[in-house]
Structure 1
Amino acid sequence: MREAYSLVWSVLVLLFRSRVSLEAEILILRHQLNIQRRHVPKRVAFSAMDRLIFVGLYRLVPNTIKALTIVKPDTVIHWHRAGFRSYWRWKSRNHCGRPTVLLEIRRLIREMSIANPLWGAPRIHGELLKLGIEISQTSVAKYMARRRGPPAQGWKTFLRNHADGIVAMDLFVVPTISFRLLYGLLIIDHGRRQILCFGVTAHPTAEWLANQLTEACGWEQIPRYLIRDRDRAYGEIFVRRVRSIGIRDRPT
């Protein structure tokens, strides 16, 4: 830490020195490095603070990587990428998992769905809540008995039959050099295979997504179906906007 404070102090002092003085000091430092390299092992051990200083200077002024002599530029870039992966691995770590549904509750859900074939997941979920059993509706639907019936239309058949009336949208993530995340949005028309919208934002709210969809489809023929994933960003505002436009929402 003392080295970092010393480096910051040196930067502040440099602001008040002349250009000739700075260039002379740079030449002296480089010559000292050349002498030092002749008397030390080729492989130098770097502390965590050393790596942090190199990576920080590389992030602030990428061209400084050309001045490196005791470490390869590719090594500093590798340190930066490793730090990025470690940072987001730490930030996205799973703090706690969803509690496991007890075997007795799973059997009860299955028995209720078999005994009451007209009951769907919302009805069974409500009955379980009345009994004091805390469980999500998604879990209820997962453990309900599957009823055999005529095969449903597959996705390939659905897309082939309704391609002219389908739009699809998807969010993807782009990491930046400063450890921030940008979110890209792509909306395409399946029938014409045409990109209707390409947007970028740092905060993909439901309102922003709804506005992008409205702008993409507002001046064209309204599609019949919208295909998207179940990302949490598609909130209630987005769902209401899709319904008001007259599009059938089909989350996958």
Structure 2
Amino acid sequence: MRDIVRLIVWAVVDLFRSRVAIEAEILALWQQIFVLRRTAPKKQTFGAIDRLVFVGLYRVFPRVLDALAIVRPGTVIKWHRAGFRLYWRWTSRPRGGRPTVSLEIRRLVHEMSIANPLWGAPRIHGELLKLDIAIGQTSVAKYMAKRRGPPSQGWKTFLRNHADGIAAMDMFVVPTISFRLLYGLLIVGHGRRQIVWLGVTAHPTAEWIANQITEAFGWERAPHYLIRDRDRAYGNVFIRRLRSMGIRDRPTSPRSPWQNGYAERLIGSIRRECLDHVVVFGERHLRHVPLSYLKYYNEVRTHLSLKKDAPVSRAVERAGSILCRPVLGGLHHQYVRI
């Protein structure tokens, strides 16, 4: 600050001096600059005041760049541009107005618009108000996912909407302690992956399978579609029973077990989690063991596809001490609060 005052004082004094004296002083100053450039280090240090003086002189008299000796003209121009940016940054600083929307809320709006393609900005805005999130409807429209075409549901949603009306069935073989073969019949619903029926027999005929279908669904709870393989056990009696119950028969293609993936995967779980650890004594014993597993599978066992819930929705217990209950003789356990 003292340098600026001194510079201003000398500028006022120069107004009353003769031109010859001023020229002589300028020559003396130039000679001193030449000596300093020879003896001083190559890189000079400039403070904020020094830069402000040079920039001010350049702003008022642009031709002053020709007289610069200890600093390059480009450096002065760079200082001027940096000051210009600082000035406009200060001028454009926020002065109140609409509050900014946090990143978390912006992501939530984006995710809601993707998960609900049929929702518009008013619907999403209403849901956010119910979540006590204060945001304007125009801001919601701004942060929604942009779509090129009309809104449409995804394949995952489309398949989930039709899963409740689809059931699948399959048969599996279980050897007994006497090497006798027994047959199990599995029926599973696609909606919640729930085991609807488990039947056991030594002679799987079409009449027996048709009766199992009737006992599993009755005449009022029958699904719209039933997926099965092309086993010869499903005879004409079975097909006529499906038609009389209003169920559309959907056999898979030959040698394509993947088309009945839910039933095949469930049979694998029954074997790995139950039958591979039990020696079956007979038909009565086999009928008891899968029924115990059916109750455990539907009411206790959590599933990844159901977001760690059971097919028969299992409530979250928050109070009480934890008690361990054995299932299938201790092969599995159920943990509850009492």
TM-score, normalization by structure 2: 0.35
Larger Rg: 2
